[in-house]
Structure 1
Amino acid sequence: MTHPDPGATPARKRRLSFLGAMPLTLLFIGLLIVPLVLTIVLSFRPYDYDLGVQAGWTLEQYIEIFTSNYTLTVFWRTLWISGLVTLICVLIGVPESYILSRMKAPWNSVFLLVILSPLLISLVVRAFGWSMLLNPMSPIGKLTEMMGLGSLLYTSAAVVIGLVHVMLPFMIIPVWTSLNKIDPQTIKAAYSLNASKWQTIKRVILPQATPGILSGSLIVFGLSTSAFAIPVLLGGGRSRMVSNSIYEQFMVDLNWPMGAALAILLLIMNLIIMMSYNQILERSYKRSLG
């Protein structure tokens, strides 16, 4: 590795920094930018079911997506399921992170291992496990039948349950990391000023945990919108999401331009929602601090 010379001129330091960053920049361009550009180009190519992908340019794929009620329903289902999974993960993950941050050794290590243990098991195995639990013949399935809810398997509810189980660690770890950075003296100062436990949580702990909540929410939402195995195994054909439609277009119908167009629109939807959420939460965080 090249180390900048302390006595080098500013121009030489900039040149050395540029050369040092070049390998990672080329890797980033080759693995992310180039495939993304090729996918965008592919989404505008004409497609013929007899001849395949054709030369030229067309908006046919995008027009078909925006005029198809079925495709718009799939996008809407992907959006609300991902949003609901993120909300549930926040409601469950933040209290769990707070409990974990208050635990002492060795129980904090044991609790952390319990939280991370699902990540050690294959996603497909976990999905099959939930399919067995939600099966109409299982105790849970019989209970939901008795309650008049019907079978949860192959419904959107099953997809939400499976995704929450998969995504919860990705919410807990960032929030727990933020909570560990809180100076205990600030909490003691709040109590010394006669603040109640709820006021301390609301005005001291939650504002400082906001960066972790933001990071965890973005991770959970992004992974949920692109989830593939859980919607297939727990949702069946009735609760398909955009990622399932993309797979079908590429691997079953062989309509690569349509699959590329769906992927680009899913990426744009993710970016818009994540950036908007980031701005809203950051403003709320700055107001709470100041």
Structure 2
Amino acid sequence: MTARSSFVPAPWLLAGPGTLFFVGLVLLPLALTVILSFHAYDHSSGIQNTFTLSHYVAVVTDEYYLSIFWRTLRIAALTTLICAAIGVPEAYILSRMRDPWRSIFLLVIIGPLLVSVVVRTFGWSMLLGSQGLVNQALELFGFPAAKILYTETAIVIALVHVMLPFMVIPVWTALQKLDPMVEAAAWTLGASRFTALRRVVMPQVTLGMLSGSLIVFGLSASAFAVPALLGGRRLKMAATLVYDEYLHELNWPLGASIAIIVLVANLCIMLAYNRLVETRARRTLG
């Protein structure tokens, strides 16, 4: 009997469709945005077919743009820190739960992702408004009404609510790989619960925290709906600034320049943070 020869396509043929989608949906629009950012713009005649660096120079030297960039990074970092402080203990508790409570609380954590970000942001605008439930509760307990809406506090609160599942799920997934008996063995050998948590659990959580922090920081820095609805017209972030330049000012090259600068800054911060956490994880885990 003769063996039938089977055709095995080359690996690059198997990866071809995915590569085409990646090039067409990610790399090509990004390249066009970079090219657009170097075009000159005139308010009377629109985009000019001439090369210029004036948009980048204007962005990096203008205090108005720099203040918005600093606000964006500050809010994104604060959101990431709060999500880590809340999400890591929440994921640890979730990993120690038994069914059916684990499934119920996991549904509670993931449930908000099923609702549109715009709908949730409108809900926070009603809660944090001058006549919202938060101010009504403050007045009920004898405290003066606080102006929370259209402040950075309102943006951070809503972003934490939106981004918290992206921190809990990676940490919980990392904890699923840890055998609970390892922590129990540390208790048996005389370690306190805090020592076992610090020496056994936390090194395993580090990589989950890294993944969650990168996701939360990247999504928070590029968020549009939350700062647009809760920050108002005066309290802008990078995404709302790009939106204004594209649709209000019609200065597409300047908007493209801002978008590229924000992208490069986010990549540099995330890569540096990734390198720092991975180095510490290797040192801790040996």
Give me the TM-score of the superposition, normalised by structure 2: 0.94
Q: What is the DSSP-based 3-state SS (H/G/I as helix, E as strand, rest coil) of the residue aligned with 1:222? A: helix
Determine if the alignment matches structure 1 residue 130 to structure 2 residue 132. Answer: no
Percent identity, aligned pairs only? 52
Q: How do residues 86-97 of structure 1 correspond to structure 2 at under 5 angstroms?
A: 86-97=80-91
Q: 1:183-227: per-residue Cα shift (whole Å, max 9, x none)? A: 223212211211110011101111001111000000000000110
Of the three residues 270, 275, 280, the one matched with 1:279 is 275
Of 29-38 and 166-175, more deviation after overlay is shown by 29-38
Of the three residues 195, 201, 215, the one matched with 2:197 is 201
Determine if the alignment matches structure 1 residue 19 to structure 2 residue 19. Answer: no
Of the three residues 151, 158, 162, the one matched with 1:155 is 151
Of the three residues 58, 77, 80, the one matched with 2:52 is 58
Deviation at 1:235? 1.0
Whether the 8 Å CA contact 1:144–1:151 is kept in 2: the answer is no
Q: What is the DSSP-based 3-state SS (H/G/I as helix, E as strand, rest coil) of the residue aligned with 2:277? A: helix
Q: Which ranges in structure 1 are unaligned for 5 or more consecutive residues?
A: 1-6
Give, in whole Å, the separation in 1 of the partners of 2:214 and 2:132: 34
| Alpha-carbon spacing, 1:98–1:214, altered in 2? closer, same or farther (3 Å) | same
Give, in whole Å, the separation in 2 of the partners of 1:116 and 1:58: 46
Name the amino acid aligned to 1:118. Answer: P
**Aligned counterpart, 1:166:** 162
Name the amino acid aligned to 2:170. Answer: P
Give, in whole Å, the separation in 1 of the partners of 2:255 and 2:85: 34
**Aligned counterpart, 1:223:** 219
Determine if the alignment matches structure 1 residue 75 to structure 2 residue 60. Answer: no
Deviation at 1:284? 1.2
Q: What is the DSSP-based 3-state SS (H/G/I as helix, E as strand, rest coil) of the residue aligned with 1:136? A: coil
**Aligned counterpart, 1:289:** 285
Name the amino acid aligned to 1:58. Answer: T
Q: What CA RMSD, in Å, does the superposition of the two structures yield over aligned residues? A: 1.9
Whether the 8 Å CA contact 1:45–1:56 is kept in 2: the answer is yes
Give, in whole Å, the separation in 2 of the partners of 1:186 and 1:286: 19
Q: What is the DSSP-based 3-state SS (H/G/I as helix, E as strand, rest coil) of the residue aligned with 2:236? A: coil
Of 91-100 and 31-40, more deviation after overlay is shown by 31-40
Give me the TM-score of the superposition, normalised by structure 1: 0.92
**Aligned counterpart, 1:177:** 173
Deviation at 1:112? 0.6
Runs of 4+ in 1 over 6 A off after TM superposition: none
Of the three residues 30, 35, 54, the one matched with 1:36 is 30
Q: 1:70-99: per-residue Cα shift (whole Å, max 9, x none)? A: 110000000000000000000000000000
Q: 1:241-282: per-residue Cα shift (whole Å, max 9, x none)? A: 000010111111110000100110010011000000001111
Give, in whole Å, the separation in 2 of the partners of 1:264 and 1:149: 41
Give, in whole Å, the separation in 2 of the partners of 1:139 and 1:267: 37
Deviation at 1:138? 2.3
Whether the 8 Å CA contact 1:155–1:238 is kept in 2: the answer is no
Give, in whole Å, the separation in 1 of the partners of 2:278 and 2:123: 38
Give, in whole Å, the separation in 2 of the partners of 1:35 and 1:139: 43
Deviation at 1:50? 1.0
Name the amino acid aligned to 2:127. Answer: L
Q: What is the DSSP-based 3-state SS (H/G/I as helix, E as strand, rest coil) of the residue aligned with 1:53? A: strand
Give, in whole Å, the separation in 1 of the partners of 2:224 and 2:133: 27
Of 178-187 and 255-264, more deviation after overlay is shown by 178-187
Give, in whole Å, the separation in 2 of the partners of 1:207 and 1:275: 20
Q: Which ranges in structure 2 are unaligned for 5 or more consecutive residues?
A: none
